[in-house]
Amino acid sequence: MKPEIIILLILAMLLAPAVSAASTSTNTAASYIEITSYEVSPSVFMKWDTGTIKVTIKNTGTSSVEIKSASLFTKDFTLINEQSYSTVGTVGPGTSRDFTFTIRADTSDGIYYPRFYLNFAGGGSLSHLVPVKVESTPLEISIIDIPDEFQEGVKESITVLVGNPRENAANGVVVKPESDSASFIQNSYFIGELLPDGSQEVTFDVIPTESGDIVFMVEYRNGLNLHTTEQVLIYTIGEGKKNAEMVINNVEVAGSGTYTVTGDVTNAGLKNAKSVIVTSADPAVPTDPNRLYVVGELEPDDFSSFEVTFTTEGATEVPLLILYKDDDGNSYEEKVTVTLEGGFTQSGSQTSPEGSDGFPVELIALVIIAAAGVGGAIIYSCKKQGKI
């Protein structure tokens, strides 16, 4: 055997234990690296959400371990920071290290398992599957309380319910009403965090100007991602069927030139009338002692007497104004026309005119017809008995 070969064999025998020891040392050190936790944020993605996967490792050994690189492998998500951990370095004994990967959920709903992978500098590797759930159910908004009807310029309340049917909490929840045909006392309502299966009622005061629609929009965040959902309410302006309704009864007119009108005002509606005032209007000129008569509050089916005084020249009819407010301070006005010669008109209904002697014309005609009938019967009876 040649001397050169003998020398190489001797060197190989001498170096083999050292190489084996180094390999054993490296593999032993790598075995002390453990994955202690992982965190997915948001905990449940919605489709197109961007979030993070954070994996924490720890060196539980007594010597440092050199890590060549760290990666996240997935065919279901888009990995945004793919080259962030192409070089890692040494993890000292007893220390931890975080690896955070940013992903975008451009996939359908379901559960997926990206693989976290560590490549050690001395050889060997470590991997772990991280479950990520994608579920795109949005928050729900329902309209649970609206007025029976809307009136132009009258404030009404609308209550909506915002619910979270998701498996994770929604943050920064805000409700906003929008409309081209109404204004709002509250421009928005901040709910904040809405827990899974939780709900929150929100009430808005709306003042409509015409028939139209109101869009209730809910904005919220899933992690850092902003989402919206909405509900539309279509409404029509009505006539206020439940409002207070003023009716004038028992009207009496006295005087000439300067007149005194007395009567009763009744609330025939279904809501309270507040600050009720009765006065006269053009062509009448209110005068003392009762330029206007303050009735105050009238509950439904309640009534009060009134007395107003005014002057007028050449007029045969004078309007009386009934002014009142509702519970929200909205002002209303109703007009009743009074005939100065005895009678009044309300809602376009005129009382019957009277004859010159104070009896109604219709009554006089009825008496004449009755008398003629009775006279005819008497004449017929007398002829039958031969008296005529």
More confident residue, 271 or 225: 225
pLDDT confidence bin for 244, thresholds 50/70/90: confident
CA distances from 29 to 15, 19, 278 (A): 21, 15, 98
On the question of pLDDT at 98 being above 60, the answer is yes
Residue 98: CB atoms within 10 A of its CB come to 10
Residue 45 to residue 273: CA distance in whole angstroms: 55
The residue to which tokens 């908004």 are assigned: 141
Q: CB burial class (10 A; 0-12, 13-18, 19+) of residue 202? A: buried
Phi, psi for 24 (deg, rounded to 5): -65, -40
Average pLDDT rounded to a whole number, residues 95-117? 96
Residue 280's closest CA among 325, 314, 317? 317
CA distances from 257 to 129, 181, 210, 282, 283 (A): 100, 48, 44, 14, 12
Residue 71's closest CA among 38, 123, 116, 130? 116
Contact 206, 214 (CB under 8 A): yes
Contact 214, 180 (CB under 8 A): no
Residue 52 to residue 40: CA distance in whole angstroms: 6
Residue 129: CB atoms within 10 A of its CB come to 12
pLDDT confidence bin for 27, thresholds 50/70/90: low
Contact 76, 107 (CB under 8 A): yes
Q: Collapsing DSSP states into helix, strand and coil, what is residue 1?
A: coil
On the question of pLDDT at 352 being above 50, the answer is no
Residue 83's closest CA among 98, 70, 97? 70
Residue 267's closest CA among 351, 329, 330, 326? 326
Token digits for 163? 């619910």
The pLDDT of residue 365: 41
* Most confidently predicted of 218-222, 304-308, 334-338: 218-222
Instruction: Tell me the pLDDT of the chain averaged across its residues.
Output: 83
DSSP string, 87-130: --EEE-TT-EEEEEEEEE--S-SEEE--EEEEEETTS-EEEEE-
The answer to whether the predicted template modeling score (pTM) of the entire model surpasses 0.85 is no
pLDDT confidence bin for 286, thresholds 50/70/90: very high
Residue 261 to residue 21: CA distance in whole angstroms: 120
Contact 109, 134 (CB under 8 A): yes
Q: CB burial class (10 A; 0-12, 13-18, 19+) of residue 226? A: exposed
Residue 55: CB atoms within 10 A of its CB come to 20
DSSP string, 313-377: SS-SEEEEEEEEE-TT--EEEEEEEEETTS-EEETTEEPPPB-TTSSBHHHHHHHHHHHHHHHHH
The pLDDT of residue 254: 87
pLDDT tens by residue, 190-199: 999 999 999 9
The pLDDT of residue 10: 53
Phi, psi for 379 (deg, rounded to 5): -60, -40
On the question of pLDDT at 171 being above 60, the answer is yes
More confident residue, 206 or 332: 206
Q: Provide the total of helices (H) and of strands (E) in the chain, helices listed first.
A: 2, 29
Q: What is the CA radius of gyration of the chain?
A: 46
Tell me the longest C-alpha to C-alpha distance in the chain.
Answer: 185
Phi, psi for 185 (deg, rounded to 5): -70, -40
